[in-house]
Amino acid sequence: MKKQKDYQAHEAAIQSLREFVARKGWSIDLEREIDYGYQIAVFDGKLRNPVDFFPSGKILIKGNAGVLRDAL
C-alpha cells in the first residue's frame, strides 16, 4: 500500500526548518521546487547543506558532514 502524501505536514516541516534556521542565526541560501519536492539550502557562514522535503514525509539532509549537518 502506498503511503499517502500529507501536504499540510509537508508545508509544516518546511516552515519548521525556516524557523529553526532563524533561531540559530543561520541563513537560507536557496529555496526551490525540485522533482516531487522542495529544497532549502542552509548556510551557517562556513558550510552549506541542502535539505530536501517530500510530501511523502521523507526528508533528506545532504551536503558535507559537519556541525551544520549534525544540527539539521
The answer as to whether 11 is a domain residue is no
Please give the span between the terminal C-alpha atoms of the chain, in angstroms, as a whole number.
Answer: 30
* Domain interval for residue 58: 26-72
CA-to-CA distance for 65 and 38, rounded, in angstroms? Answer: 21
pLDDT at 51: 97
pTM > 0.95 = no
The answer as to whether 56 is a domain residue is yes
The answer as to whether 19 is a domain residue is no
The answer as to whether 47 is a domain residue is yes
Counting the structural domains of the chain, the total is 1
Q: Residues 21-36: what's their mean pLDDT?
A: 96
* C-beta atoms surrounding 53 within 10 Å: 20
Please, which pLDDT band fits residue 10 given cuts at 50, 70 and 90? confident
The answer as to whether 37 is a domain residue is yes
